[in-house]
Amino acid sequence: MKIGITCYPSMGGSGIIATELGIKLAERGHDIHFITSNIPFRIRKPLPNITFHQVEVNQYAVFQYPPYDITLSTKIAEVINEYDLDLLHMHYAVPHAVCGILAKHMSNKDIKIMTTLHGTDITVLGYDHSLKNAIKFGIEGSDIVTSVSQSLAEQTYDIIETDKRIVPIYNFVREKEFPVKPDQPTQDDDRLKSCYGIKPDEKVLIHVSNFRAVKRIDTIIDTFAKVHQALPSKLILLGDGPELMDMKKKARDLGIEDAVLFLGKQNWVSEFYQISDLVLLLSEKESFGLTLLEAMKSGVVPIGSSAGGIKEVIKHDETGFIVDVGDSTQASEYAIQLLTDIKLYKNIQQNMLKDVSARFSSDLIADQYEYYYKKMLEGNND
């Protein structure tokens, strides 16, 4: 199939899933056309079957804001016609689903459109009355709509008030990008640890995000403070965003600034999972939690909050633990249990690795997308 993909090409989860899916489908022989404002950051080398089309966003004196949506739609229409695309896969409801519909009208083709909802496009933007109708239009004008969890599908029905069928298809990771960490640390792991002042006997907790308030990094730091009191440990925080400075201050106020490593944005998160024991994602809104899955695939045991789709990713007491949003006491108790009871840790880790390959493998998820692509092309959107 000839597939056009539009997403935000930066480091957010939606862009990562769109890119990884494009790579996976290209490996399966499909012709993939990324139509984005920049080369998606996970594309690190030339890959067969993948073409990148850059959307230009020009600034003219008459425009107060550069018209990204219009130039994107124009570019998509050009690519549809020039490459005779079969379908568009738009990631994020606004503006991308809406741009897909506009591009279809601009092109000469009755092209099929799949839209994937990722989370904040519904759970944050859906509450903005200046966007809600555009989101609804994008959803209802798409042939097939998918969401990254059952929870997000349900929230979409509630918030957007649409009857459109929404098919949950989970996030996935391409397995070779996130190898399972060995039982004993390698020399590279020791080097990475010592480079950040982590001692061999210290346990490592990790959190990766864009440091927005919804990620509740305050709860993560509170959790870690209790763990750190009980055993030698470090907390690695990867990412950057609006909460960063407040969280640094919080770590200072709690007197644990030497144990909390704020390492900023990193391209190679997989190397940090190799040296981590636990991953924490304690958000108050989270449609899926791709960083959890990446860590779990690497063998890092998760503690998550009960928000959104996290409960679909972690099976409580089987593949990790779930706590209420804001409950740092319960989270720290689970963390200490896992880090001090090797038998429990190994048991959960084994269940988790099996579950990750059974429910979130790249082949399984790519099969699901391909199945719905074929249905769309056959004109069957049910």
Site for ligand GMT in 129-148 (CB under 6 A): 148
For ligand GMT (CB under 6 A), the number of binding residues is 18
- 34, 211, 288, 369: which one binds ligand GMT (CB under 6 A): 288
Nearer to ligand GMT, 273 or 288 (CB): 288
Binding mask 76-115 for ligand GMT (x = CB under 6 A): ----------------------------------------
Q: Is 207 in the site for ligand GMT (CB under 6 A)?
A: no
In angstroms, give the least distance from the CB of 366 to ligand GMT: 15
In angstroms, give the least distance from the CB of 195 to ligand GMT: 27
In angstroms, give the least distance from the CB of 63 to ligand GMT: 26
How far, in whole angstroms, is CA 372 from its chain's centroid?
21
Q: Dihedral of the CA atoms 31, 35, 38, 39 (nearest 10)?
A: -10
Q: Dihedral of the CA atoms 189, 194, 195, 197 (nearest 10)?
A: 130
Q: Which stretch binds ligand GMT (CB under 6 A): 11-19, 31-39, 156-164, 261-269?
A: 11-19
Whether the CB-CB separation of 125 and 93 falls below 8 Å is answered with yes
Nearer to ligand GMT, 120 or 298 (CB): 120
Binding mask 29-58 for ligand GMT (x = CB under 6 A): ------------------------------
Nearer to ligand GMT, 13 or 100 (CB): 13
Q: Which stretch binds ligand GMT (CB under 6 A): 97-105, 222-230, 284-292, 294-302?
A: 284-292
What residue ranges bind ligand GMT (CB under 6 A)?
Answer: 12-14, 17, 118-120, 148, 171, 210, 212, 214, 285-290
